[in-house]
Structure 1
C-alpha cells in the first residue's frame, strides 16, 4: 500500500539499522533498544510494518498480537519529523488495524502520553477511545492514557460489568485474586489486599499439585465466598476428587482426596449449590445479566504453552467473545494486557477445558441481600 511516494511493507531483518536510527530520532525517552527491535523483527506474534520513501525507511508501526486472545497492542508508532503531516501515521495505523483483524483480533489497544496532544488527537480521529490511565508511566513521570478501538467489523452487543482488576501476588493465588475481583465488584467493603488473597488461598487450597504449592479447589473458593457474605453455585463436570492426574505420589493423592471430600461436605452444610455439569455459554450470559459474577477455570496452554489450571474472572460476554480479567501479569506484559481480555467464544470453550478428563469448572457468586 502507498501514500503518494510512501510505500508500506513488512519489516525485514536488514532494516534494523534504519529502525534503530528512527527510534533515536523520534523518541527522547522509553526508546526501543536495538536488541529489542531485533527481537520484534522475528517475533511470531508481531506485526511490523515500515513506511518507505525512495527505499529509505521514514516510519514504522509495531503491533503485538497477544497469544490465545482476541486482543492486540500497538507497541510503537513512529514517523521521522521531516515526513510528518503527510498522513503516514494514519496509513500505517489503518493498515495495522486490517492486519490485526486478519489475525483474528477484535481490539487494538495502546498507551499514549497525556502530554502528547497531537497523537491523542490522531488516535481519537481514527476511532480510539480512552478507557483508563496510568500515572507516572513514562521516564519523565508523565501519565499514560489507555486507548482502544474495536477493529473487528461487528458491533458487539452483550453484558458488560464493572469489575476491578487485581494482580495476584504469588504464582499460586490466581483463584483468590479472581475471587477478590468478583466480590469487590459486588461489595466494595471487600479488600483487594494480599492478606485477604492469602487467607482465601489457605481456606481453598488443594494442598498439593504437580509441583510447588497447590492451587485452589472450585468448591473451596465457593466456600470462601459464602463465608464472606455471598451465595455461590459451582458447576463441575466431575464431583470426584480433582487434579489427581498430574500427581504421582499416592500419599499426596490421598491428602487431596481428603481435602476434596471435606469441601463437598462443607458445601452441603453451608448451602453451596453443586451442579455436576459444565457452565455453558448461554447460562453464563444469563448469570451475568442477572448481576452475578463468574470465575472460570481455564487451561493456560493457549496463552503460554503450559498446561496449568488457572482461574480468571469473567467481565463481559457478547455474541463474539468472552472477556476476562486475568490476574497473572508476567514480565512481558502491561496491566492493560490482562484486563477485559477478549477471547473468541469457540476459543474460550477450548480454553475452559482442562486435563485428560476434560474438566470444566466455574463458580457463580451473588451478594446476599
Structure 2
C-alpha cells in the first residue's frame, strides 16, 4: 500500500539513503535535506510503501513568481514502475496549486527517457534547454505544466477556443468565442472574424492595422442578436495616444464619436467606469461572457492592447481564452482557460499611459416573443 504524505524530521535518514542510492551527482546534502524538511517555502512529500519511505518529491516556492519548481524527485529502484512517481508528482501539483501557484516547472536530464516519459504523460511540455546543466555536464530539458484550472464548483463559460487568423483580430476572435459560448448555434469562422473587424476597427493603432474599439465590438454583438454593455474608464477618444500623426488622431476621434452615436441610437448601455475583479466575478457567475482589454507587456514584454475572453473566476485566479497562439512555444491547450492571478490581472487589465480599462459584457441572445394574429 502506497501513502503520499508530507515528509517529517523522522524521515531524514531514509531520505539521505534514497538520495545516495538514486543520484551519483548533484546530490542534496544532509544539511540541505534537513533545511527543506522545515522550510516554509517548499513542499516536501514522501511516498511510503508498506510503511517505509520509498521515495520523495521536493517543490520550491520562490517569492515573486506564480511558478512552482519541481526541484528533486527520487524513488528507490525496487519501487519503480508501480505508478508511485506519478502519484508523488500529482500530489505536489495539488499542493503547489493550493498555495497559489499556477504553473509547475522542472529540469530533467536529456538522457533520462523514463522521467521525460513520465512528465510528458502528466502533461508537461518542453519549452527550453540548459547546456551542461548538471555536475557531469549533462544537458537538461526545461519542462512546464499548468497546474491551476477552473474548478467544477465555479461557473465556467463553455466557450470553444478560436485562434485569431491575423495579428489584429483578437477582438473579433474573442467576441466569436463569447457568442459561441452563449449560443451553440454560433460557429466561429474566418469570414465572421473579418466581418466583425471591419465593423469594430479603430482604423489605426500604434502601428499596422487598427484594433477593435470596445463599443465597436458591442455593436457587432448587438447586430448579431446579443444584448451587450460596455465599461470604459474614460469618455475620451480611445487609442489616440499611441498615434503620432495628427490627421490619424483626428480620424480615430471621428471613429470613436461615430461608435458612440451608433451605440446611443441602438440603446446600448455604455458605462464610463472600470470593472474591478469583484464585478467581473459577478458577471461570470451569472453566466455572462466578458471580453477584457489587457496589455500584453506582462506576457511578451510588448505594450500592445489585446482582447481576451474571461471563461471563469475563482478565489485566486481569473481564467481566459487567449486567441493569440505562439506556435514556437505554445499549443492550443496553452491558450485555453489560462489562469491569471487576480492581483496580476489588475495590473494587466490597463493599457497605455492613461491606464485605459475596457470590458464588453455579452448576454445571451435576446428572445423575441412572436405575436398571435
Same fold (TM over 0.5): yes
Q: Which runs of 5+ in 1 are unaligned?
A: 12-60, 110-117, 130-146
Output aligned runs, 1:119-268, within 5 Å. Answer: 149-150=147-148, 158-268=154-264
**Is the 8 Å Cα contact of residues 294 and 314 (structure 1) preserved in structure 2?**
yes
- CA offsets 1:14-57 (integer angstroms, 9 cap, x no match): xxxxxxxxxxxxxxxxxxxxxxxxxxxxxxxxxxxxxxxxxxxx
The offset of 1:185, in angstroms, is: 0.9
- CA offsets 1:117-151 (integer angstroms, 9 cap, x no match): x99xx89xx9x79xxxxxxxxxxxxxxxxx97549
User: 1:327 aligned to 2:323?
Assistant: yes
**Is the 8 Å Cα contact of residues 233 and 272 (structure 1) preserved in structure 2?**
yes
The offset of 1:9, in angstroms, is: 8.5
Distance 1:175 1:262, change over 3 A: same
Distance 2:24 2:359 in 1: 46
Question: Aligned with 2:215: secondary structure?
Answer: helix
- CA offsets 1:151-173 (integer angstroms, 9 cap, x no match): 9xx98953222111100000000
Q: Which runs of 5+ in 2 are unaligned?
A: 1-14, 28-56, 106-113, 124-144, 368-373
Q: Which moved more, 1:280-289 or 1:338-347?
A: 280-289
**Is the 8 Å Cα contact of residues 97 and 148 (structure 2) preserved in structure 1?**
no
**Is the 8 Å Cα contact of residues 94 and 147 (structure 2) preserved in structure 1?**
no
TM-score, normalised via structure 2 length:
0.65
- Partner of residue 368, structure 1: 366
**Is the 8 Å Cα contact of residues 240 and 249 (structure 2) preserved in structure 1?**
yes
User: 1:348 aligned to 2:345?
Assistant: yes
Question: Aligned with 1:245: secondary structure?
Answer: helix
Stretches of 4+ aligned residues off by more than 3 angstroms: 1-4, 7-11, 68-74, 81-84, 86-104, 147-151, 154-158
Question: Aligned with 2:309: secondary structure?
Answer: strand
Distance 1:215 1:302 in 2: 19
Distance 2:223 2:68 in 1: 39
**Is the 8 Å Cα contact of residues 308 and 320 (structure 2) preserved in structure 1?**
yes
**Is the 8 Å Cα contact of residues 316 and 324 (structure 1) preserved in structure 2?**
yes
Q: Which moved more, 1:154-163 or 1:333-342?
A: 154-163
The offset of 1:255, in angstroms, is: 0.7
Distance 1:158 1:103, change over 3 A: closer
Distance 1:308 1:103, change over 3 A: farther
| Structure of greater Rg | 2
The offset of 1:302, in angstroms, is: 0.4
**Is the 8 Å Cα contact of residues 210 and 246 (structure 1) preserved in structure 2?**
yes
The offset of 1:85, in angstroms, is: 2.5
**Is the 8 Å Cα contact of residues 71 and 342 (structure 1) preserved in structure 2?**
no
Question: Aligned with 1:209: secondary structure?
Answer: coil
- Partner of residue 270, structure 1: 266
Question: Aligned with 2:172: secondary structure?
Answer: helix
The offset of 1:93, in angstroms, is: 3.3
Distance 2:298 2:26 in 1: 26
Superposition CA RMSD, Å: 4.1
- CA offsets 1:173-218 (integer angstroms, 9 cap, x no match): 0000000000011112222110100000000000001111000000
**Which residue among 101, 104, 122 is the counterpart of 1:105?**
101
TM-score, normalised via structure 1 length:
0.66
Distance 1:279 1:179 in 2: 18
**Which residue among 22, 39, 43 is the counterpart of 1:6?**
22
